[in-house]
Structure 1
Amino acid sequence: MNRSDEIKTHQDQLNKRYKTLVEQAYNFRQTDSALSDISEYKAIKLLNKLNRLKYLSREQYQSAV
């Protein structure tokens, strides 16, 4: 497995986790606002990681071309 495949696999895993956290934040919004805020914060942190990975994969693609 090459580096770009590893990055893509990691991106997919993080994306699934991000979607789960966003859904949790939405579901907790009505019942427990503190848990909603925590889930939203974790989702934002994951989104930041996803954006960095997207930048890395783009950078590797450009160097390969």
Structure 2
Amino acid sequence: MYQSDITQFLNQLKQQKPNLEAEQRRGRSLLWDKQPIDLEERAEQKASRVEQTPYSYYQNF
């Protein structure tokens, strides 16, 4: 059965580092898996936000 060079390389890499996929999953979870949003906290943050004028240097005109 034919295997490309890349497939052979990946299989060899997985044999050398058996925990590679677990490390990849852990890294992915650090970057992409987010905690659920607390809707009450989000509403409080939105209510406490101070509106800013479009161009803040000319507020007194």
From the two aligned structures, give the one with the greater helix fraction.
Answer: 1
Instruction: Give TM-score scaled by structure 2 length.
Output: 0.31
Normalising by structure 1, we get a TM-score of: 0.30
Q: Which has the higher contact order (CA 8 A, sep 6+)?
A: 1
